[in-house]
Amino acid sequence: MSTNTCQIIEGQYLRDILDQPRAITATLEQLEVPKELGVIVRKLREGKIKRVLLTGMGASFHALHPLFLQLNAHGYTALTVETSEVIHFLQSWFTAETVIVAISQSGQSAEIVRLLEENRGRAAIVAITNAADSPLALQAQATLLTKAGQEFSVSCKTYLTSLLAAHLLGGLLCGADAGHTRQQLSQTVPAVASYLSRWNDHVFDIAEEIGRIHHLLLLGRGISLAAAGEGALILKESVRLHAEGMSSAAFRHGPLEMVNGETFAAIFAGAEATKSLQAKLRDDIGHAGGRVVWIDEGSRSGPWNLPKAPLIVRPVLEILPVQMITLAVAAVLGIEAGRFARVPKVTTVE
């Protein structure tokens, strides 16, 4: 990689990406479970709370998807809705029979502030946030604080730490042993550090492979939908490249028709239950003339090869290759990745 290219991508955004192992370590070591959460867990198990409303915006919204699957698999009724929709169209859910799990990195985005105002304490709120002095942290009935530290622009550290906090919360709500959950989550640190130790090679390899593209697709199922959604978001905001993240099943219902030589698809292998379906889609996109890569443990290519780790860690690891794509695209286009031109770090306008 040339000196000029390195200067383009070696900015604060890259430093935030490389700081992710530290942020994860700090969060896992210092993440405390508030005693107030015990009351909410008891009411949920007794049926006094009948639904769990999971809400957030942007990266925070995508971080909720594994928790959504975890809670529903356990038998709870959990719904995931963007906060912007909740505050304007679903205020009937603000009752004592609802517990709201709200993720907001800043804890003070416009929609979160409106949520607090409209709810007025009717539904209990469990917060996951990176800001201890934010309106969300101060007004929620129970708050899990992440320790990502300051972040330049695009969500990377805060997204990963939100995923970890959400999984710990899910384990508590579902009666899992907290010690075992933390032990599994601790395997995130060496796995992320191992992958990022070769960031330079990853970016170079992807830049060579991806070139200039017009259609970038991120396709997954199950817990991998978190990385598909978040990955498309960070590509759009970090390097202004149009990307779409969607379920692989939905992609077969029409969008497969658009595949051509200008299409680049990244497919998340995901859980064993649907891996064969993912592999079939990979082959079909290739046969249609699209370029396609396979993101999985044991993948043939370095940037797409995920470190071995428990399945619950997979959503954290799956976003790492997409972060490398953002840097590779920046190198190809000759632009600085992650520097916002039109939006602030915290969205304060609805």
* CA gap 165, 31 in Å, rounded: 8
> Taking Cα atoms as reference points, which of 150, 147, 100 lies closest to residue 121?
100
Task: Describe the strand order of the beta sheet including 263-268 as a list of residue ranges.
Answer: 243-247, 215-220, 263-268, 291-297, 305-306
Q: How confident is the model at residue 12 (pLDDT cuts 50, 70, 90)?
A: very high
Residue 212 pLDDT greater than 80, yes or no:
no
Q: Is the pLDDT of residue 336 over 70?
A: yes
Angle between helix axes 225-239 and 314-333 (nearest 10 degrees) is 20
**Mean pLDDT of all residues in 268-293:** 97
CA distance 266 to 292: 6
Q: What average pLDDT score do residues 118-136 get?
A: 97
Model pTM score: 0.95
Burial of residue 214 (number of CB atoms within 10 Å: 0-12, 13-18, 19+): exposed
The token pair at 138 is: 């101060």
5 falls in which pLDDT band (50, 70, 90)?
A: low
Q: pLDDT-derived band of residue 3, with 50, 70 and 90 as boundaries?
A: very low
Length, in residues, of the chain:
350
Q: Which residues contact 120 (CB under 8 A, 6 or more apart)?
A: 94
Region 97-114: mean pLDDT is 97
| pLDDT tens per residue across span 18-65 | 999 999 999 999 999 999 999 999 999 999 999 999 999 999 999 999
User: 181-193, pLDDT tens digit by residue?
Assistant: 999 999 999 999 9
Q: Which amino acid is at 92?
A: S
Provide the pLDDT for residue 1: 52
Which amino acid would we find at residue 14?
L
- Per-residue pLDDT, 162: 98
The 10s digit of each residue's pLDDT in 299-331 is: 877 999 999 999 999 999 999 999 999 999 999
Give the pLDDT of residue 345: 75
Residues 6+ apart with CB under 8 A from 89: none
Query: Which tens digit of pLDDT belongs to each residue from 128-183?
Result: 999 999 999 999 999 999 999 999 999 999 999 999 999 999 999 999 998 899 99
The whole-number average pLDDT for the span 275-296 is: 97
Lowest pLDDT segment from 10-14, 91-95, 269-273, 286-290: 10-14
pLDDT at 8 over 70: no
Residue with tokens 């719904």: 79
Q: In the chain, pLDDT over 70 holds for what percent of residues?
A: 98
Residues 6 or more apart whose CB falls under 8 angstroms from that of 256 comprise 284, 285, 288
> Are the C-beta atoms of residues 304 and 296 closer than 8 Å to each other?
yes
Report the amino acid identity of residue 20: Q
- The strand pairing partners of 294, in sequence order, are 267
Mean per-residue pLDDT over the chain, rounded: 94
Residue 296, pLDDT above cutoff 80: yes
Q: Which domains does the chain have, with CATH numbers?
A: 18-188 (3.40.50.10490), 190-333 (3.40.50.10490)
SS (H, E, C) 200-226: HHHHHHHHHHHCCCCEEEEEECHHHHH
Of all residues in the chain, the percent with pLDDT exceeding 90 is 85
Nearest CA-CA partner of 315 in 222, 234, 196: 222
